[in-house]
Structure 1
Amino acid sequence: MMVNFSSILQEARRNRYAIGSFNVYNYETIRGVIEAAREMKVPTIVAFGENYLPNMEMEEVVALVGTMAKKADVPIVLHLDHCKSFQNIVRAIRAGFTSVMYDGSALPFEENMQKTAQIVAIAHAAGVSVEAELGALASGEFTNEEAAEEIYTDPRQAQKFVSATGIDALAVSIGTVHGMYKGTPKIDIGVLKNIASLVDIPLVLHGGSGTPEAIVRECIQNGIAKINVNTEISVHTIENVRKLLAEGKNYHLSQVSLREVGFIKEVVIKYATMFRST
């Protein structure tokens, strides 16, 4: 069944576990994520970013997720991830997405706050939950050591932002990166604790791929209720497909597709288990 993430994330924060948000780009990734959720019997967020629109139309994603979610018998959220376009957010809401993320993190604080509040008003009128972001994560070409100090979320700004916008979840920047780490993660739990003491809504950790389990556990104990995983889904699946094809067997594309679903499930199950075992 498809739901928005407001209630399930609030419960996760209260009970100190996290919901996995797994990026999808095609049929195989959608099926892998939802089959893993079904097997584990855990609420799961299927995340589709606007940068993957060349792969699939929003309406196609809604149709596939909606069909598969009916068989899952657990809450499934269809989330528009990292969207900077007002037009695409409205399109996603109309298409049937149950939550959206407006990413105004690169904007000046006041402008980000104003535009986010406008989107919240539209989304909430349609029963859709909203995530926003303060601070900016480094991308995979940087290590945390190179960029961390300038990307952390300011706790006082977070408090003001949440109060002024009415968002349902806040993505915070505490030193994780988009992509895989090149160095030792420099994650500041102190910043997270300060934010959590001032903000009572669920907090979101982007850049879950490759983050050490001990740090993940500590983040969940201090307010993180949603964790995004993207890069490892791609890396793990591509590496294993490459090994499969190197065997020299004459695989049919349909067989490779099924194996891809299995590889995706391995990543989802790994992280979904980690997020609930703190």
Structure 2
Amino acid sequence: MLVNTLELLRKAQEKKYAVAAFNVYNMETIQAAFHAAESEGRPVILALGERYFPMVELDGFSAMVKALAEKTKLPVALHLDHAEQKESIVQAIRCGFTSVMFDGSRFDLKENIAQTKEIAAIAHLTGVSVEGEVGSMKTGDFSDEAEGDGSLTDPQSAGLFARETGIDFLAAAIGTVHGLYKGEPHIDLSLLHAIHQCVPIPLVLHGGSGTPDDVIRKAIRLGITKINVNTEVSIAAVQGMQKTLDSHQWPHLSVITSEAQKSMESVMKKCIRLFSSASED
């Protein structure tokens, strides 16, 4: 069943676990996310980034997600990820997305607050929850996300941002990257603790791919309720396709995409299991 994303995150916040948010952009990625969630018996968030709009017909995409959501008793959310344009957000809301992220990290704090507050007011009129971001992430290897400046989130600014904008959950920059890390990760969990003290709403961790398991577990205990994963799933799919191409002469496209989906499901199950088990440690 399709639910509001905030509903999932409030429960995660209460029980101290995190919900996996997988970037999806075609039938195989969508099906992989549903199959992985059903296999693990856990909720899931399907996230479509604004950058994928040119390759995705939004009405058909959302209809596919809604159709599959109706077939499962598990709560499923449909999220717009890293949107910079108001038009994209309005379009997603009209298509039935249950949450949207306005990425105003390129602006100074005052302008970020002003624009995010406007988006939150629009989304809340239709019962759609909103994610905002303070700070910015760098881009690592194998990512197709835009490069950020890597500025970490200031706890006091984050608290002010959350109060002034009325957002429902906040993406905090604590040293993770989009993509895979170049060298050793430097993730500031003490900063996350300080942010958690200043921000009462659910916190989001972008850059789940390649982040060490022990860091993930600690971050969840410090308030992270949603973890975005894109690159790790993409790499698994490409590797699955490459293995099929290497082992077959002119394999049928359906075989290639089927193997890609199986490879993605394996990674997604691992993530869901890790994110949901933190409360049990």
Q: Same fold (TM over 0.5)?
A: yes
Corresponding position of 2:226: 226
- Offset of residue 115 of structure 1: 0.8
Q: 1:177 is paired with a residue of what secondary structure?
A: coil
Corresponding position of 2:261: 261
1:26–1:55 contact (8 Å) kept in structure 2: no
- Offset of residue 108 of structure 1: 1.0
Question: Are the structure 2 counterparts of residues 203 and 168 from structure 1 closer, same or farther at C-alpha, using a change threshold of 3 Å?
Answer: same
Q: Percent identity?
A: 46
1:24–1:47 contact (8 Å) kept in structure 2: yes
CA offset digits 1:151-185 (Å, max 9, x no partner): 11000000100011111100000000001111100
Instruction: Give me the whole-angstrom Cα distance separating, in 2, the residues matched to 1:270 and 1:39.
Output: 11
Letter in 2 for 1:130: V
2:138–2:177 contact (8 Å) kept in structure 1: yes
Instruction: Give me the whole-angstrom Cα distance separating, in 2, the residues matched to 1:241 and 1:121.
Output: 43
Corresponding position of 2:187: 187
Corresponding position of 1:35: 35
Runs of 4+ with >2 A deviation: 147-150, 248-251
2:139–2:148 contact (8 Å) kept in structure 1: no
Superposed, which structure 2 residues align to 1:77-226 within 5 Å?
77-140=77-140, 151-226=151-226
Instruction: Give me the whole-angstrom Cα distance separating, in 1, the residues matched to 2:261 and 2:180.
Output: 21
Instruction: Give me the whole-angstrom Cα distance separating, in 2, the residues matched to 1:260 and 1:239.
Output: 8
1:196–1:223 contact (8 Å) kept in structure 2: yes
Letter in 2 for 1:97: F
Instruction: Give me the whole-angstrom Cα distance separating, in 1, the residues matched to 2:34 and 2:40.
Output: 10
1:37–1:72 contact (8 Å) kept in structure 2: no
Letter in 2 for 1:168: D
- Offset of residue 94 of structure 1: 0.7
Instruction: Give me the whole-angstrom Cα distance separating, in 2, the residues matched to 1:206 and 1:5.
Output: 16
1:172–1:203 contact (8 Å) kept in structure 2: yes
- Offset of residue 150 of structure 1: 5.3
Letter in 2 for 1:12: A
Instruction: Give me the whole-angstrom Cα distance separating, in 1, the residues matched to 2:261 and 2:9.
Output: 26
Instruction: Give me the whole-angstrom Cα distance separating, in 1, the residues matched to 2:64 and 2:23.
Output: 14
Letter in 2 for 1:120: A
1:131–1:171 contact (8 Å) kept in structure 2: yes
Corresponding position of 2:64: 64
Instruction: Give me the whole-angstrom Cα distance separating, in 2, the residues matched to 1:121 and 1:248.
Output: 53
Cα-Cα RMSD:
1.6
Instruction: Give me the whole-angstrom Cα distance separating, in 2, the residues matched to 1:130 and 1:67.
Output: 23
Question: Are the structure 2 counterparts of residues 222 and 148 from structure 1 closer, same or farther at C-alpha, using a change threshold of 3 Å?
Answer: farther
Q: 2:54 is paired with a residue of what secondary structure?
A: coil
Letter in 1 for 2:6: S
Which structure 2 residue ranges, 5 or more long, are not aligned?
Answer: none
- Offset of residue 116 of structure 1: 0.6
Letter in 2 for 1:174: I
Corresponding position of 1:51: 51
Q: 1:21 is paired with a residue of what secondary structure?
A: strand
Question: Are the structure 2 counterparts of residues 257 and 159 from structure 1 closer, same or farther at C-alpha, using a change threshold of 3 Å?
Answer: same
2:172–2:203 contact (8 Å) kept in structure 1: yes
Which structure 1 residue ranges, 5 or more long, are not aligned?
Answer: none
Instruction: Give me the whole-angstrom Cα distance separating, in 1, the residues matched to 2:80 and 2:248.
Output: 39
CA offset digits 1:213-250 (Å, max 9, x no partner): 00000000000000000001111110121011101344
1:174–1:189 contact (8 Å) kept in structure 2: yes
2:137–2:150 contact (8 Å) kept in structure 1: no
Corresponding position of 1:11: 11
- Offset of residue 251 of structure 1: 2.2
CA offset digits 1:79-132 (Å, max 9, x no partner): 000000001101110111111000001111111101111111111110101001
